[in-house]
Structure 1
């Protein structure tokens, strides 16, 4: 059996409960670690940082990483459309164009949010 300690600076230490051997793994992250959790069968480790979510094998090899904040602006990205498509829409068309999309507006943080990463 082993005990695994993951520190916010990225250092990982694994201690064997049988013989007390200590294995240290180098700092794997440039970002602060917010949380982590092992899968129920202990084959995968999920770690959340400020920018990404990582999945590691039992030997701490990166299996997958996912960006939390995408560089592509999605719906907000500018696009060019033909001149005639918007030319004669009048005041209704202007209101439609200037209307803010509520899906792209930043939301407020809930009063119940403790700003901790919880992985389950």
Structure 2
């Protein structure tokens, strides 16, 4: 029988249970005794905190991470966010990851609290 968890990932932790590189990182398994085989569905950066879905069901993880499931994100950011910045985000912005440049997909975006 598979288990599913809604979990608040605190700042400073990786969204994973195993880290095989030499540097010590704080992992989710240090916070709670999850069943063997528990995995995060998606991820939050080490410097981020928020709701994270966990499961022991690999198939459920694949389904939720797929494009067929709509996702909604809320982000708190520092600095002043302009209407121009929101329009750029809606149309896709260029980001870099491991030296490779990507353009994000178009999305809905709005300021919810100023």
The interval holding the TM-score normalised by the smaller chain is under 0.3
User: Looking at CA atoms only, which structure, 1 or 2, has the larger radius of gyration?
Assistant: 1
Provide the TM-score with structure 2 as the length reference.
0.25
1 or 2, which has the higher strand percentage? 1
Provide the TM-score with structure 1 as the length reference.
0.24
- The structure showing larger relative contact order (alpha-carbon pairs under 8 Å, at least 6 residues apart) is 2
1 or 2, which has the higher helix percentage? 2
